């Protein structure tokens, strides 16, 4: 690196001015809002902060959020890997269409996802009108929150795993077959280990997105404390009610969690890029 | 017999990649499948391993029919060109993998893996990961991994293709040693002749899906049966002479006829092969009786290539002798040969261009006779008779093998069809002793095209019924479809001829015209017929086209001369069909050769009509040559 810069000094201008502009934009746009969470959290003092996050409602919201994120990561981890395997390995009519469909959730506004789930499972929904009278009502219940999160985060696992699978030569699997491994054994011993990196970063990404999901959750959960209220919903509700301190404390926790996950992911990617 | 393949066939999207390959490989043999890219060699290997399912045929491993078994159930070891060793496993784990799948105890597993690593020369590297190894080492791991579970056969698909020359040589030696030691039956696929020669007990040469020839390396090099092998393996001179009593006549030179070619008819073409390094050059005429004198040649090219020196000579005395190899340049008039001088001689014998040298052969080899391979489509009516007569005439005249084909509409008609073909075959037995008989079931046109493709026929002969009283009513639907889709020339016959002495080649100016001149010339050469090349210019022909056509005709004349065909050229003005018929009548042509303009596109309808008109009007056999090749 240093060699290259030394050889081509003219190509690397000392751009203090452009960097300054960049900082001037980033500051009010990203850095200051983030900082204010912590500033406000600090203002109420440690005791106030602890009180705020240990309130039963806040505790439920945080734990519920973590639980949902964990479940989402596990379920979509499996589902996404399987989808990636099928899409990458098999050739069938409609493959391209399916490829687009499974990636669609990224493009759809989350509020629309919430609406569509309500219109399917809700009391007046296409399936709901028959199921709700039978007592099967996923909407406004924890199951509904999980459904929404599965929908919204589906493409992340796929996006992390499929490129790795695509790059794996066909002969890799064929080698396992000729050696005597069944398709399942080949997947278990040969394919899966090769996917480790993709699986980990995909799961992390899914977890992080699930933790922060708001748009779809607010619609399908009904925002019921002690039942379906996730951390982001709690923050929203507390803000609405004017309890800035309570809202802000949970927001600070959520932000910190996200930072940790994000840095873990970055570290991991750096490591696997080097390997 | 460790491996036995019977009529193995595979198509991808209607393209024949492997075409009726039959092969037997002995226990403990190291067999090399040699062929260019796209020859189907890798597909054969993949079918043996079970990674690709054959469309037809049978695969037996150690007497067990495994044609439709999964790869897991076959117990073969496979080594891929790209190594494909498992990168998250250590070297040892890679080698152990097959045993782990087979639930071998871990200490036994470890012992066996260590043993194999030792065998492939990687002892002590068991704990490493693949990315810590070089390409050559990785391929050694792959070899050890494939051998760990004692496979019935070892299959290697271009195993050294991705390695550099030096490593490749080392690995070859190791492979040969290991194979000898373990006595495991092995098939290796490669495009590298040197590799094939160094490793193989026997070599199988493949081309366009067919197994052309199988034999020991020395046999394939010095005594190949086929022209393909002779020209594909090593450098070689293949010249076409004619039998003359007890001699093979090559222009002014004559070589003694070896006993194995004694049964050939007088005047029939005989192809001889001599390797460039089996020649002697000297400035004085030869005195030694053991050397076959080819004549005096003029040095026209001299290439220094390290230990050896490659020299190209123009042989005035061989003028008119056709050379299959080295390939004649279009328009070249004097036959050329290639000579290699080795070692000290190269240093002391430095030639100047234009220098005259005497060329002698230490030895030469006669190739199996080859003629046009004709597929004669016989139906049980007049047209079938016509096809049979003209087709066998063509096959006989060109010394080619021929097959009688009948397409039965339903399976229950097949036996009857076979009986009928037998009677036809007996009728032609005197003329064509080697006539083959084949019955297929299905739609005529489709089955004819399939057979032509699978059997690698060079001409399809079809009969056209009803001349005479009823008049010509146009081509039948079968003939039309075959004409539209055939990749080889189609012979349409509606009248009988007694011989094949005069051929009329109708050509168009320029590049596409070369195809039908070349093919017509080939027929004429093999049949020993005279040829007229005709170009008809109409009112639409532009002056440039006329000029190009004139040039083309002159080249055509030269090309025919090189092939040893007596030919003349002719340009006529006016209507195309009328002029062709007039010229055909004037020559009393036994065959009219025309090129098909656009066999794959829509405009083919035009020439199809044209061909139809010509067949109807000319009352002579017409050979339609597709121009897409």
- φ, ψ of residue B405 to 5 degrees: the values are -120, 135
Residue B480, token pair as written in the block: 């039309």
What is the predicted pLDDT for the residue at B215? 94
What is the predicted pLDDT for the residue at B601? 47
Say what percent of chain B tops pLDDT 90. 39
Which residues from B are below 8 Å from A196, CB to CB? 88
B50 touches chain A (CB under 8 A): yes
Residue A274, token pair as written in the block: 């080097």
Alpha helices in B357-413 (DSSP H): 382-397
Strand partners, B492: B462, B622
Cβ atoms within 10 A of the Cβ of A153, count?
Answer: 25
B80–A180 C-beta distance less than 8 A: no
Nearest neighbour of B84 by CB, restricted to A169, A189, A275: A169
What is the predicted pLDDT for the residue at B45? 96
Distance of CA A36 to the CA centre of its chain: 24
Which residues from B are below 8 Å from A169, CB to CB? 82, 84
Question: How far apart are the C-alpha atoms of A69 and A74, rounded to whole Å?
Answer: 9
Residue B503 falls in which region: left (phi positive, over 0), alpha (psi -120 to 50) or beta = beta
What is the predicted pLDDT for the residue at B481? 82
Higher per-residue confidence, A8 vs B49 = B49
A166 touches chain B (CB under 8 A): no
Which residues from B are below 8 Å from A174, CB to CB? 51, 71, 78, 80, 84
Which residues from A are below 8 Å from B97, CB to CB? 176, 179, 181, 189
ipTM (interface pTM): 0.75
Question: How far apart are the C-alpha atoms of A43 and A58, rounded to whole Å?
Answer: 19
Per-residue pLDDT tens for B162-205? Answer: 898 899 999 999 999 999 999 999 999 999 999 999 999 999 99
Q: Has residue A12 been placed in a domain?
A: no
Q: Has residue A22 been placed in a domain?
A: no
A193–B89 C-beta distance less than 8 A: yes
Cβ atoms within 10 A of the Cβ of B606, count?
Answer: 11
Question: How far apart are the C-alpha atoms of B506 and B534, rounded to whole Å?
Answer: 5
Q: For B98, name the nearest residue in chain A, comparing CA atoms only.
A: A179
Which residues from B are below 8 Å from A190, CB to CB? 86
- CATH number, domain containing residue A226: 1.10.3720.10
Lowest model confidence (mean pLDDT) among A68-72, A120-124, B523-527, B582-586: B523-527
Q: Has residue A27 been placed in a domain?
A: no
Which residues from B are below 8 Å from A181, CB to CB? 72, 97, 101
pLDDT band, residue B352 (cuts 50/70/90) = confident
B75 touches chain A (CB under 8 A): yes
Residues with Cβ within 8 Å of residue B394, at least 6 apart in sequence: B372, B374, B400, B459, B461, B491, B500, B523, B527, B591
pLDDT band, residue B295 (cuts 50/70/90) = very high
Question: How far apart are the C-alpha atoms of B521 and B498, rounded to whole Å?
Answer: 20
Query: How far off is chain A from B113, nearest CA to CA, in Å?
Result: 14
Contact B379, B406 (CB under 8 A): yes
Say what percent of chain B tops pLDDT 70. 92
Residue A65 has pLDDT above 90, yes or no: yes
B149–A178 C-beta distance less than 8 A: no
Q: Has residue A28 been placed in a domain?
A: no
Q: What is the mean pLDDT of residues A28-33?
A: 89
Question: How far apart are the C-alpha atoms of B151 and B483, rounded to whole Å?
Answer: 49
- The structure's pTM equals 0.73
Distance of CA B624 to the CA centre of its chain: 22
What is the predicted pLDDT for the residue at B549? 83
Q: Identify the sign of the CA torsion B571, B572, B577, B581.
A: negative
Instruction: Return the percent helix, strand and coil in chain A, to nearest 5.
Output: 80, 0, 20
Query: How far off is chain A from B208, nearest CA to CA, in Å?
Result: 24
Higher per-residue confidence, A98 vs A4 = A98
Residue B453 falls in which region: left (phi positive, over 0), alpha (psi -120 to 50) or beta = alpha
Residue B260, token pair as written in the block: 């194995």
Nearest neighbour of B84 by CB, restricted to A171, A185, A193: A171
pLDDT band, residue B240 (cuts 50/70/90) = confident
Residue A8 has pLDDT above 60, yes or no: no
What is the predicted pLDDT for the residue at A10? 53
Q: For A191, name the nearest residue in chain B, comparing CA atoms only.
A: B86
Residue B460, token pair as written in the block: 């399809």
Q: Has residue A6 been placed in a domain?
A: no
When the pLDDT of each residue in chain B is averaged and rounded to a whole number, the result is 86
Q: Has residue A13 been placed in a domain?
A: no
Residue B470 has pLDDT above 60, yes or no: no
Q: What is the mean pLDDT of residues B565-579?
A: 85
Per-residue pLDDT tens for B361-403? Answer: 999 999 887 677 888 888 777 777 777 888 888 887 777 788 8
A179–B88 C-beta distance less than 8 A: no
The total of structural domains in chain A comes to: 1
Cis peptide before B59, with omega less than 30 degrees from 0?
Answer: no
Q: What is the mean pLDDT of residues A120-137?
A: 89
A178–B101 C-beta distance less than 8 A: no
Provide the domain limits for residue A47: 36-274
B72 touches chain A (CB under 8 A): yes
Reduce the DSSP state of residue B407 to 3 states and report it.
strand
Q: Has residue A7 been placed in a domain?
A: no
- φ, ψ of residue A135 to 5 degrees: the values are 90, 0
Higher per-residue confidence, A161 vs B370 = A161
Q: For A193, name the nearest residue in chain B, comparing CA atoms only.
A: B88
Residue B497, token pair as written in the block: 């001829």
Strand partners, B483: none
Residue B492 has pLDDT above 90, yes or no: no
Which residues from B are below 8 Å from A179, CB to CB? 77, 97-98, 101, 145-146, 149
Q: Has residue A25 been placed in a domain?
A: no
Cβ atoms within 10 A of the Cβ of B514, count?
Answer: 18
Which residues from B are below 8 Å from A189, CB to CB? 86, 97, 100-101
Residues with Cβ within 8 Å of residue B158, at least 6 apart in sequence: B42, B81, B189, B190, B191
Residues with Cβ within 8 Å of residue A105, at least 6 apart in sequence: A113, A151, A152, A153, A154, A155
Residue A274 has pLDDT above 70, yes or no: no
Q: Helices B513-527 and B382-397 sit at what angle, rounded to 10 degrees?
A: 80
A196–B76 C-beta distance less than 8 A: no
Say what percent of chain A tops pLDDT 70. 94
What is the predicted pLDDT for the residue at B89? 94
Query: How far off is chain B from A199, nearest CA to CA, in Å?
Result: 15
């Amino acid at each position: 690196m240093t060699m290259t810069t030394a050889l081509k000094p003219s190509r690397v201008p000392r751009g203090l001015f452009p960097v300054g502009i960049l900082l001037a934009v980033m500051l009010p746009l990203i850095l200051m809002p983030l900082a204010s969470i912590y500033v406000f959290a600090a203002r109420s003092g440690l005791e106030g902060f602890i009180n705020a996050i240990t309130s039963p409602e806040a505790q439920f919201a945080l734990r519920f959020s973590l639980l949902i994120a964990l479940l989402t990561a596990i379920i979509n981890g499996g589902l996404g890997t399987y989808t990636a395997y099928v899409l990458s390995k098999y050739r069938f009519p409609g493959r391209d269409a399916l490829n687009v469909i499974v990636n669609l959730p990224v493009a759809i506004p989350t509020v629309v996802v919430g609406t569509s789930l309500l219109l399917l499972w809700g009391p007046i929904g296409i399936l709901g009108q028959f199921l709700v009278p039978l007592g099967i009502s996923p909407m406004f219940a924890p199951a509904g929150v999980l459904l929404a999160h599965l929908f919204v985060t589906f493409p992340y696992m796929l996006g992390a795993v499929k490129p790795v699978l695509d790059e794996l030569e066909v002969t890799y699997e064929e080698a396992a077959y000729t050696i005597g491994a069944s398709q399942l054994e080949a997947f278990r011993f040969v394919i899966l280990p090769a996917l480790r990196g993709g699986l980990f970063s995909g799961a992390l990404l899914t977890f992080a997105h699930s933790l922060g999901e708001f748009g779809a959750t607010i619609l399908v959960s009904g925002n019921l404390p002690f039942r379906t209220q996730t951390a982001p919903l709690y923050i929203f509700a507390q803000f609405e009610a004017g309890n800035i301190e309570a809202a802000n404390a949970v927001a600070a926790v959520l932000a910190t969690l996200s930072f940790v996950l994000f840095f873990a992911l970055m570290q991991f990617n750096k490591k696997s890029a080097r390997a | 017999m460790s491996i036995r393949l019977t009529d193995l066939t595979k198509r991808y999207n209607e393209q024949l990649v492997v075409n009726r390959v039959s092969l037997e490989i002995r226990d403990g043999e190291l067999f090399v499948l040699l062929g260019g890219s796209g020859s189907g060699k890798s597909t054969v290997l993949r079918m043996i391993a079970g990674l690709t399912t054959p469309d037809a045929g049978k695969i037996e491993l150690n007497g067990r029919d495994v044609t439709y078994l999964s790869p897991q159930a076959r117990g073969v070891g496979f080594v891929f060109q790209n190594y494909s060793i498992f990168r998250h496993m250590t070297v040892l784990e890679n080698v152990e993998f097959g045993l782990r799948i087979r639930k071998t105890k871990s200490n036994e597993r470890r012992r066996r893996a260590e043993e194999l690593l030792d065998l492939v020369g990687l002892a002590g590297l068991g704990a490493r990961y693949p990315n810590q190894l070089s390409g050559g080492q990785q391929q050694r791991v792959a070899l050890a991994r494939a051998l760990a579970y004692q496979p019935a056969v070892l299959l290697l698909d271009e195993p050294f293709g991705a390695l550099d020359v030096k490593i490749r040589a080392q690995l070859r030696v190791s492979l040969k040693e290991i194979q000898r030691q373990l006595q495991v039956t092995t098939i290796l696929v490669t495009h590298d002749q040197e590799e094939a020669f160094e490793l193989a007990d026997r070599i199988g040469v493949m081309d366009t899906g067919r197994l052309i020839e199988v034999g020991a390396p020395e046999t394939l090099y010095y005594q190949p049966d086929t022209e393909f092998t002779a020209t594909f393996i090593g450098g070689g001179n293949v010249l076409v002479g004619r039998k003359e009593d007890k001699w093979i006549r090559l222009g002014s030179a004559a070589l003694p006829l070896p006993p194995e070619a004694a049964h050939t008819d007088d005047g029939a073409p005989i192809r001889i092969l001599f390797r460039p390094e089996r020649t002697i050059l000297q400035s004085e005429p030869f005195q030694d009786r053991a050397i076959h004198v080819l004549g005096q040649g003029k040095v026209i090219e001299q290439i220094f290539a390290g230990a050896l020196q490659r020299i190209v000579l123009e042989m005035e005395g061989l003028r008119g002798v056709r050379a299959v190899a080295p390939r004649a340049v279009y328009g070249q008039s004097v036959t050329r040969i290639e000579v290699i001088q080795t070692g000290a001689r190269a240093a002391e014998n430095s030639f100047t261009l234009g220098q005259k040298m005497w060329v002698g052969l230490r030895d030469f080899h006669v190739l199996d006779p080859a003629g046009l391979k004709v597929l004669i489509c016989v139906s049980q009516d007049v047209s079938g008779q016509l096809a049979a007569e003209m087709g066998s005439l063509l096959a006989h005249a060109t010394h080619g093998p021929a097959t009688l084909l009948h397409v039965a509409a339903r399976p229950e008609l097949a036996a009857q069809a076979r009986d009928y073909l037998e009677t036809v075959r007996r009728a032609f037995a005197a003329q064509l002793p080697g006539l083959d008989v084949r019955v297929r079931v299905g739609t005529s046109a489709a089955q004819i095209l399939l057979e032509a493709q699978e059997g690698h026929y060079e001409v399809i002969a079809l009969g056209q019924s009803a001349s005479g009283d009823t008049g010509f009513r146009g081509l039948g639907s079968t003939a039309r479809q075959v004409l539209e889709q055939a990749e080889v020339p189609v012979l349409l016959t509606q009248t009988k001829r007694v011989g094949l002495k005069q051929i009329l080649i109708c050509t168009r100016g320029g590049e596409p015209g070369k195809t039908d001149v070349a093919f017509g010339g080939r027929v004429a050469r093999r049949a020993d017929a005279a040829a007229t090349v005709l170009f008809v210019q109409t009112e639409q022909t532009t002056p440039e086209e006329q000029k190009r056509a004139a040039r083309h005709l002159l080249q055509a004349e030269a090309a025919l001369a090189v092939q040893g065909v007596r030919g003349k050229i002719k340009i006529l003005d006016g209507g195309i069909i009328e002029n062709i018929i007039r010229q055909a009548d004037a020559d009393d042509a036994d065959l009219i050769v025309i090129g098909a303009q656009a066999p794959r596109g829509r405009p083919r309808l035009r020439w199809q009509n044209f061909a139809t008109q010509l067949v109807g009007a000319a009352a002579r056999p017409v050979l339609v040559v597709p121009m897409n090749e």
